[in-house]
Structure 1
Amino acid sequence: MGLKHVLVLPFPAQGHVNPLMHLSHKLVQHGFKVTFVNSDFNHKRVVSAIKDEKGNNLEGSNLELVSIPDGLGPEEDRNESGSLLLAIMRTMPSALENLIRDINSMDGGSNRITSIVCDTYLSWALEVGQKLGIKGAAMIPSSAAIVALVNNFPKLIEEGIMDSDGFPLRKGKYQLSQEMPNVDIDCLPWSCIGDLHVQKITYHYLTKTVKWSSLANWWLSNTTNELEHGALSLFPNILPIGPFLKESTEESRSLGQFWEEDFSSLNWLNQQPPSSVIYVAFGSIAIFDPSQFKELALGLELTNRPFLWVVREDSDNGNGNTNHKYPDEFQGTKGKIVKWAPQQIVLKHPAIACFISHCGWNSTMEGVSNGVPFLCWPYFADQLLDKTYICDVWKVGLGFDKDEKGIISRWEIKKKVEELLGDEDIKGRSKKMKDMVMNNIAKDGNSTHNFNKFVEWLNE
């Protein structure tokens, strides 16, 4: 028998691939062989973004990228979460089972999968593992607060906050426990995903993940006790092993990106004064309509500060008719615009002053771990809850207010940038939080200790 062999399965979206890829790297460093299973569609993107001739076999032979179908056709929209979830359930469980059987029968079984680590959103994989006699763990790609929320659906129904399809029954706020923040009922993560039909599909899919996830021996999370004490005490099974950060020596491309990272942004940052640059990035899914895009461009210009702005090729929903039409009066001379940035390295750069963010959990953890204050612009799903933590619980950022047309105006952007960068208390809290969070991944830190316990279990 060779190395212990872990199969890692992320939900097919960039924000899920990132944390599971980070975990895979750590497992390889600890002497495991890892087979990382993307969807066919995303596998192609990842391999092309690496620009690696071999493409699918990295870090020696101990991290292998393979793929299975997600059930959608090549032209179908993967951001349409309702049809993606239905297609996944039709296709992926049997495809995963076949993949594992194939791997286990190779070389006389010397390369057998010994454990599965799956995304909590694909926790049906634990059932597949159980059927094949393979132990399993679940990795949470969002905050621990989201897991606490999903596992408390019965309580929310009982208290009349939502019905049995997840639709809100009243306005106002709810609180899961005394140690958790008060959150707007309007911000239930699934209730801002697509139309009512998609919301219902998403909600019922989440309820199933609770049942499947109960098969996990371990729940791993990119968080720390200081950041989410309330959620972790409500759900003590969760093992915090965050923050997930690249080694400070790594300036190489991040494996698992869907787009090629533009490293020219680092040379540009080197030429900017310390704490001067506004970093603007909205993750892998957010899209902008033309009028909001215009206000953002003119707002950045109005700040009269240097900015680094990530504008994905598809962030206008691929309409072609807007195709990021920058307004005529936008000069952009103080800024640099890239299609995709090496975000962890960018946020670590001393030139960065603040982060205008969609508040996805990976971005939230990366910003907090680098002591960067936030301007919060959540788009959908768990990002609204993450904003509550950033602004109301940790107090390391500010939100934007929309005008009567539902637009964040250029003047609002200028005003909030000035307010944030003039607030010494927020800056002080951000630095303090960075130190507190980073202590967890020191040699004798809590997250390091938790991760080592998990490694022992994998080796059993």
Structure 2
Amino acid sequence: MGRAHVVVIPYPAQGHVLPLLSFSGYLAKQGILTTFVNTEFNHNCIINSLSNSSHVADGINLVSVSDGLEDSPEERNIPGKLSESVLRFMPTKVEELIERMIAGGTIISCVVADQSLGWAIGVAVKFGIRRATFCPAAAASMVLGFSIQKLIDDGLIDTDGTSSVNKTIQLSPGMPMMETDKFVWVCLKNRESQRNIFQLMLQNNETVELTDWFLCNSVYELETAAFGLYPHILPVGPIGLAHCFQEDSISTSLGSFLSQDRDCLDWLDRQIRGSVIYVAFGSYGVISNNQVDELATGLELTQRPVLWVTGPGGQQPIKLWSDRVKVVRWAPQREVLSCGAIGCFVSHCGWNSTLEGAQNGIPFLCIPYFADQFINKAYICDVWKTGLGFERDGRGEVLRLEVKKKIDEIMREDGEYKKRATIMKEIVMKSVAKDGVSYENLDKFVNWIKSQVK
């Protein structure tokens, strides 16, 4: 009997590639071959970031397809161009890739598509291949997508996804509150991206009946209400914990588009336990220069050590000049958050960061900007109560005194936020331990995949 072979297709963005590559790592450890499909641009970023080796893991084959932007690389930075290529250009390229694999004798057991790529499920149907979707975001984000038609029927959004009224809603008791003008398809002020992402979500809903498995990188106990509303969504997270890909510096950086600065780990080892403020806003540079200055000044006022990740935009917090501060472009975040020195996480609240903070018992200070970050912030501040948001001024910015005030509150010695975050850590760790819900769901999926082998 041959080995099962799965094709994994992420949405071509850092926050999607990382968990889906972690998922591929888990499958590889179970003896399942994986072909991981990136765009050429992202594929090259990953290979270049692995300075020590181009080898990623036994059982994972990294391949690439064109996203249609190679001939005009400057277009890649134009808002809306990536989401347009994902919607209109990538489906044909992925279909051609699968056709070549089949022609070459590869028997594909299943296509695992990013939940935002409904068209990939359609491609799998065309070739008669089994299908699973993997949601790299919270189950609440998935439920919101499934609720689009009801939102239109209730007059809350127009048929193009634009909010008709500014209103705060709750899809089910126990779920986070959501503001209609901050739904996940809202991409700051970029209307073209909003339209494209909304169209992708509509496509996803059309392929629901064609999908065999709905996997979500979340924890049942963290989102009981969302999973209760749609029981066919199965939690399997945090997938980064489940696959235990923590054996060396190559494996922990696998999937990163940027080279990680590992010197910051040595710096953290010299700090007092629980004393460091970790600042990181993910792979999209959405924070203004003025906001950087206000945040940096507020951090300086706290007189606490700071590790600041500038991200690919490289906005330098120039007012952070003291020897208490370490500034890096990109960090090995999983290791940073697990080192013991981190006392709080100032974050944009991307779901990967949210889970990684939760699994390490770290309290949050939240500065969300777009997409699902507002849902995640509502979970942290209102549902789990493991963090705080910042009050913003009339321009939408967080001022320096507000920064100092909230950091002093969240890092108080009596530590109510830390206590709740520690309880959260225990819940998360149990989910991937033997007999945990995520463990059991992953086990069922792996057994199902292997049963497809003739």
Q: Per the shorter chain, which TM-score range? A: over 0.9
Return the letter of the residue paired with 2:447.
Answer: E
Return the letter of the residue paired with 2:88.
Answer: R
Q: Is the 8 A contact 1:375 1:397 kept in 2?
A: yes
Q: Is the 8 A contact 2:84 2:193 kept in 1?
A: no
Correspondence for 2:426 among 408, 419, 435: 435
Correspondence for 2:339 among 341, 349, 355: 349
- Deviation of 1:380 (Å): 0.9
Question: Which residues of 2 match residues 181-200 of structure 1 at below 5 A?
Answer: 181-200=176-195
Alignment correspondent of 1:446: 437
- Deviation of 1:77 (Å): 4.8
Alignment correspondent of 2:42: 42
Q: Provide the C-alpha distance between the structure 1 equivalents of 2:108 and 2:354, rounded to a whole number of angstroms.
A: 33
- Deviation of 1:325 (Å): 6.7
**Cα separation, partners in 2 of 1:248 and 1:129, compared to 1, 3 Å:** closer
Superimposed CA distance per residue, residues 273-296 of structure 1 (whole angstroms, 9 cap, x where no aligned partner): 111000111011133322111112
Alignment correspondent of 2:63: 66
TM-score (normalizing by structure 2): 0.94
Return the letter of the residue paired with 2:424.
Answer: M
Alignment correspondent of 2:295: 296
Q: Provide the C-alpha distance between the structure 1 equivalents of 2:155 and 2:209, rounded to a whole number of angstroms.
A: 26
The runs of 5 or more residues in structure 1 that have no matched partner are 317-323
Q: Is the 8 A contact 2:3 2:33 kept in 1?
A: yes
Q: Give the secondary structure class of the aligned counterpart of 1:189.
A: coil
Correspondence for 1:413 among 403, 416, 419: 403
**Cα separation, partners in 2 of 1:197 and 1:86, compared to 1, 3 Å:** closer
Correspondence for 1:128 among 123, 127, 133: 123
Superimposed CA distance per residue, residues 177-235 of structure 1 (whole angstroms, 9 cap, x where no aligned partner): 22323322232122343333432332222111211243210011111111111111111
Question: Which residues of 2 match residues 228-267 of structure 1 at below 5 A?
Answer: 228-246=223-241, 247=244, 249-253=246-250, 254-267=253-266
Return the letter of the residue paired with 1:269.
Answer: L
Q: Is the 8 A contact 1:49 1:259 kept in 2?
A: yes
Question: Which residues of 2 match residues 246-325 of structure 1 at below 5 A?
Answer: 246=241, 247=244, 249-253=246-250, 254-316=253-315, 324=316
Alignment correspondent of 2:83: 85
Does residue 369 of the first structure (1) align with residue 368 of the second (2)? no
Q: Provide the C-alpha distance between the structure 2 equivalents of 1:79 and 1:51, rounded to a whole number of angstroms.
A: 25
Q: Is the 8 A contact 2:357 2:363 kept in 1?
A: yes
Return the letter of the residue paired with 2:318.
Answer: Y
Q: Which moved more, 1:384-393 or 1:247-256?
A: 247-256
Q: Provide the C-alpha distance between the structure 2 equivalents of 1:401 and 1:357, rounded to a whole number of angstroms.
A: 15
- Deviation of 1:81 (Å): 5.3
Q: Provide the C-alpha distance between the structure 1 equivalents of 2:217 and 2:259, rounded to a whole number of angstroms.
A: 24
Number of aligned residue pairs: 445
Q: Provide the C-alpha distance between the structure 2 equivalents of 1:249 and 1:28, rounded to a whole number of angstroms.
A: 14
Q: Give the secondary structure class of the aligned counterpart of 1:186.
A: helix
Q: Provide the C-alpha distance between the structure 1 equivalents of 2:236 and 2:346, rounded to a whole number of angstroms.
A: 26
Correspondence for 1:159 among 137, 154, 157: 154
**Cα separation, partners in 2 of 1:314 and 1:249, compared to 1, 3 Å:** closer
Identical-residue share of aligned pairs (%): 43
Q: Provide the C-alpha distance between the structure 2 equivalents of 1:315 and 1:287, rounded to a whole number of angstroms.
A: 11
Q: Give the secondary structure class of the aligned counterpart of 2:82.
A: helix
Alignment correspondent of 2:5: 5
Q: Provide the C-alpha distance between the structure 2 equivalents of 1:237 and 1:93, rounded to a whole number of angstroms.
A: 26
Alignment correspondent of 2:165: 170
Correspondence for 1:381 among 367, 371, 388: 371
Return the letter of the residue paired with 2:370.
Answer: F
Alignment correspondent of 2:21: 21
Alignment correspondent of 1:321: none
RMSD of aligned Cα (Å)? 1.7
Return the letter of the residue paired with 1:397.
Answer: G
Q: Provide the C-alpha distance between the structure 2 equivalents of 1:325 and 1:274, rounded to a whole number of angstroms.
A: 24
Q: Provide the C-alpha distance between the structure 2 equivalents of 1:431 and 1:263, rounded to a whole number of angstroms.
A: 26
Return the letter of the residue paired with 1:451.
Answer: L
**Cα separation, partners in 2 of 1:195 and 1:245, compared to 1, 3 Å:** closer
Q: Provide the C-alpha distance between the structure 1 equivalents of 2:190 and 2:440, rounded to a whole number of angstroms.
A: 43
Return the letter of the residue paired with 2:125.
Answer: Q
Correspondence for 1:210 among 197, 205, 230: 205
TM-score (normalizing by structure 1): 0.93
Correspondence for 1:103 among 93, 101, 104: 101
Q: Provide the C-alpha distance between the structure 2 equivalents of 1:117 and 1:181, rounded to a whole number of angstroms.
A: 28
- Deviation of 1:410 (Å): 1.5
Q: Is the 8 A contact 2:10 2:16 kept in 1?
A: yes
Q: Is the 8 A contact 2:178 2:374 kept in 1?
A: no
Question: Which residues of 2 match residues 109-148 of structure 1 at below 5 A?
Answer: 109=105, 111-148=106-143
Q: Provide the C-alpha distance between the structure 2 equivalents of 1:193 and 1:277, rounded to a whole number of angstroms.
A: 31
Q: Give the secondary structure class of the aligned counterpart of 1:121.
A: coil
**Cα separation, partners in 2 of 1:159 and 1:14, compared to 1, 3 Å:** same
**Cα separation, partners in 2 of 1:251 and 1:335, compared to 1, 3 Å:** farther
**Cα separation, partners in 2 of 1:132 and 1:384, compared to 1, 3 Å:** same
Q: Which moved more, 1:87-96 or 1:22-31?
A: 87-96
Q: Is the 8 A contact 2:302 2:404 kept in 1?
A: yes
**Cα separation, partners in 2 of 1:232 and 1:245, compared to 1, 3 Å:** same
The runs of 5 or more residues in structure 2 that have no matched partner are none
Return the letter of the residue paired with 2:66.
Answer: P
Q: Give the secondary structure class of the aligned counterpart of 1:206.
A: helix
Q: Provide the C-alpha distance between the structure 2 equivalents of 1:249 and 1:89, rounded to a whole number of angstroms.
A: 34
Q: Is the 8 A contact 1:285 1:315 kept in 2?
A: no
